[in-house]
Structure 1
């Protein structure tokens, strides 16, 4: 918007660099350019201000597909005034010389024109295709078609308009149709989810079965090893018992052999001793007997001395065969120890 200041009968206009200002005086064009600043008299001057920057025009409209389904098209058209003077000659961009504002709405007229052309091209494109093909193809073909149509439109070229870009933001069916189209996809996704769940459960069951089989195999192997251990322990115990029995037998045989040897030696010694004693004097034998008896005797409580005993002792001591006491006929007497 241009900025206008007053100074008595004259006024001063200052425009932005993004605006193309065209000044007419008495029906003749006197100046034209961007970002101008000048003095003028309002009673003899007319000024038009055309925007020279890029402008965006949003649109939303509906079209019917070949299978009678409503499709909503939403997008944006970016345009600019390639020839501001030509555009000003076709569309009224005159400004109010008191406020600097546009007297009419030329931008709305240009937006209506662009939207109408885009809607016509979109309707022609959509009506020849079923809704499934439109949704599968996406918005790119429609976007290219609208851009090519607007760029080649002769009316826009004559007006000095240039279409910079066309962007289709959305190509969507109605809410009911969208839900209907989403249902198969949702069901397929749900089926895949169920299949994944079933597969996971089957894998879990298979793993549990494998674990159970592994546990059973482990238990069987442990039982087999335990049986083998018990058999080995029995075999070891049997071998130990046999070893102990064999050792006992060998020890018994050795002890028996030792006893036989000892007894044989003892018998031999006894035989030699008996052979030596066979020719010994009876008195000497009695002495030996008494000596052996004395060696075994530890305590004497009572001793009976008879004439026969004293006679035998005298005979031994004196070397006589008949003891004197027996010849005299003395009676025996008791002799107690310690008296």
Structure 2
């Protein structure tokens, strides 16, 4: 946008480097150029300001396919005014001599021109194709075709517009048609997903079966080992019982022999002791008889009074202790009579 500074009887204008300005006075060209700066008088002056920088114009084109379906083609056209003097002659770029603001809306006019040319180029490039082919068109290739048509379009050349570039987004049909077109692909994708799911489940089932077989094999092997262990333990128990029985038989035999030997030795010892005891008793009996005979022989020539005295002495030795003894003549006489009678019998 130009900067206009007013002074008494004269005015100064200054423009940026991306703007072309044109100054006419009384129909004659006084000043022009990009980034121009000059003095002018307001009353006869006619000023035009044309931007020469790159600008973007959104476009949305609806194309009818050969199967009577509509396709939306969104894109952006990048352009610039390459011939600003020509554009100033064809489009009203006039500005106010006091504020520098456009008196009309020239950029809308230029944008409409670009949009119309782009719509015609897109329609010419896609008309006659079926819907599926249009939707599968390469955006870059379509952009090259449209740009080639825009460069050759006389409407843009007459305004001095040069196309810098063009790009398109994804081409889309109506929502209902697009959903209908997407349905086969979605069904195919769903089928692929279901197939992958079934395959995954099949693999999982196979793995579970393999795990089950492995567990069964392990259980069978474990049972076999347990059976072998039980058999080995039984064999060991039988062997141990047999060894114990043999040891018991040997111990019983040894104990029997030892008991027999002890019984035999005890019997022999008892017999020897019986013989010795009998002999001893016989010897003692003989000795007692011999002593009794000797005692009787010794008493044979003794007087009765002496025998009485000896008998009394023997009686005194065999009687318990007596503190006092009273003997009456009758008692003494009776005792002496008994003793004398016994002695006579002997």
Residues 139-188 of structure 1, C-alpha deviations (whole Å, 9 max, x = no match)? 22211111222234355345432111111123111111111011112222
Aligned-pair CA distance for 1:319: 6.0
Partner of 2:286: 315
Aligned-pair CA distance for 1:324: 10
Residues 249-287 of structure 1, C-alpha deviations (whole Å, 9 max, x = no match)? 22233334445666677788899x69xx7xxxxxx7634
2:59 aligned counterpart, secondary structure: strand
List gaps (5 residues or longer) in structure 1: 278-283, 291-311, 326-338
Aligned-pair CA distance for 1:230: 1.9
Larger radius of gyration, structure 1 or 2? Answer: 2
Checking the alignment, whether the CA contact within 8 Å between 1:315 and 1:323 is kept in structure 2 is no
Checking the alignment, whether the CA contact within 8 Å between 1:56 and 1:79 is kept in structure 2 is yes
Partner of 2:134: 134
Cα separation, partners in 2 of 1:15 and 1:285, compared to 1, 3 Å = closer
List gaps (5 residues or longer) in structure 2: 297-319, 321-346
Partner of 1:96: 96
Looking at structure 2, the residues matched to 285 and 27 of structure 1 have their Cα atoms a distance apart, in angstroms, of 187
Residues 207-229 of structure 1, C-alpha deviations (whole Å, 9 max, x = no match)? 33334333333333333222222
Aligned-pair CA distance for 1:56: 1.2
Cα separation, partners in 2 of 1:313 and 1:54, compared to 1, 3 Å = closer
Alignment root-mean-square deviation, CA: 3.4
Partner of 1:27: 27
Aligned-pair CA distance for 1:7: 3.4
Instruction: Say whether residues 1:11 and 2:11 are aligned partners.
Output: yes
Looking at structure 2, the residues matched to 6 and 315 of structure 1 have their Cα atoms a distance apart, in angstroms, of 190
Partner of 1:288: 280
Aligned-pair CA distance for 1:237: 1.0
2:123 aligned counterpart, secondary structure: helix
Runs of 4+ more than 6 Å apart: 263-271, 322-325
Partner of 1:45: 45
1:102 aligned counterpart, secondary structure: coil
Partner of 2:315: none
Looking at structure 2, the residues matched to 11 and 29 of structure 1 have their Cα atoms a distance apart, in angstroms, of 17
Looking at structure 2, the residues matched to 288 and 9 of structure 1 have their Cα atoms a distance apart, in angstroms, of 189
Looking at structure 2, the residues matched to 125 and 36 of structure 1 have their Cα atoms a distance apart, in angstroms, of 42
Q: Mean alpha-carbon deviation: is it higher for 94-103 or for 65-74?
A: 94-103
Checking the alignment, whether the CA contact within 8 Å between 2:18 and 2:35 is kept in structure 1 is yes
- Richer in helix (by share): 2
Instruction: Say whether residues 1:76 and 2:83 are aligned partners.
Output: no
Instruction: Say whether residues 1:222 and 2:222 are aligned partners.
Output: yes
Q: Give TM-score scaled by structure 1 length.
A: 0.75
Checking the alignment, whether the CA contact within 8 Å between 2:5 and 2:12 is kept in structure 1 is yes
Checking the alignment, whether the CA contact within 8 Å between 1:75 and 1:169 is kept in structure 2 is yes
Looking at structure 2, the residues matched to 313 and 57 of structure 1 have their Cα atoms a distance apart, in angstroms, of 165
Checking the alignment, whether the CA contact within 8 Å between 2:125 and 2:146 is kept in structure 1 is no
Aligned-pair CA distance for 1:49: 0.9
Partner of 1:119: 119
Aligned-pair CA distance for 1:206: 3.1
Checking the alignment, whether the CA contact within 8 Å between 1:76 and 1:166 is kept in structure 2 is yes
Partner of 2:200: 200
1:99 aligned counterpart, secondary structure: coil
Aligned-pair CA distance for 1:132: 1.5
